[in-house]
Structure 1
Amino acid sequence: MSTDTTASVSTHILDTSAGRPAGGVAVHLRARSGSAAHWQALGGSATDADGRCKDLPALPAGTTHVRLDFAVEPYFAHIAEKQADAQQDAPANRDSGAVFFPEVTVTFAVHPGEHYHVPLLLNPFGYSVYRGS
């Protein structure tokens, strides 16, 4: 039986449209104690070049629910800008370059003493998450 009174959270993002980690994505962490409680902002971080957030804030004791907010629109805008600079004479994309999901919010339940790794698989028109290890 674990004696830890808090859960812990980590995450990383893979850009499946590029086949590589998504660096520089802002991630904000919120927590609450009970489904009727208000969300408490705990702070945030940004993904590193490997797509990982290694310094998310610790969860307070009694946390039962966690929410990760990923600000993905600036990431895709930066990628599109780099591609446009590299391919100035290329034909225009069939889409406007807009991201369908400008933000991704993932909410999940946690239990004391457990670690929750939540990978985000991302592309401009969809995403998938799962509980990793």
Structure 2
Amino acid sequence: MAGYLTTHVLDTAKGCPAQGLKIELFRVTDEARTHLRTLVTNADGRTDEQILPEAEFQTGTYELVFHAGAYLDATGTPEETPRFLDVIPLRFGMSEAAHYHVPLLLSPFGYSTYRGS
């Protein structure tokens, strides 16, 4: 089985997918970050393509950066300065060639993640 990475963002405060949220993917090697791609979530809160496709998959350490503050601003969440959650970095490891799904459950004052399927 070839490895690949997907993600999904749900706005738990509104009870819907988080559409229009910018996500960046970085590969991390000895604390150096290499930007691989930037995608935006669709109406289902997913990206239109795998965030790390099979052809580019390598085991190692990665970081997904979710631009939550800009999403919250765009969706009419009441403003605060500074925003409690702005940029959310999630650093994780992929140790085998498999499907890794790293979702984000988001609200203005908290988030959670897990390895999904």
Q: TM-score, normalised by structure 1?
A: 0.76
Question: Counterparts of 1:1-133 in structure 2 under 5 Å?
Answer: 2=1, 4=2, 7-33=3-29, 36=30, 38-55=32-49, 56-58=51-53, 60=56, 62-80=58-76, 97-98=79-80, 99-133=83-117
RMSD of aligned residue pairs (Cα, Å): 2.0
Change (3 A) 1:61 1:31: same
Query: In structure 2, how many angstroms separate the alpha carbons of the residues matched to 1:14 and 1:8?
Result: 21
Counterpart CA distance in 2 for 1:61 and 1:49 is 26
Gaps of 5+ in 1: 82-95
User: 5+ unaligned residues in a row in structure 2: which ranges?
Assistant: none
| Number of equivalent positions | 113
Q: Compared with structure 1, are the counterparts of its residues 31 and 58 closer, same or farther at alpha carbon in structure 2 (3 Å cutoff)?
A: farther
CA offset at residue 57 of structure 1?
4.0
Q: Distance in 2 between matches of 1:13 and 1:62?
A: 23
- TM, length-normalised to structure 2: 0.85
Identity %: 35
Show structure 1 runs of 4+ deviating over 4 A: 59-62
Structure with greater strand share of residues: 2
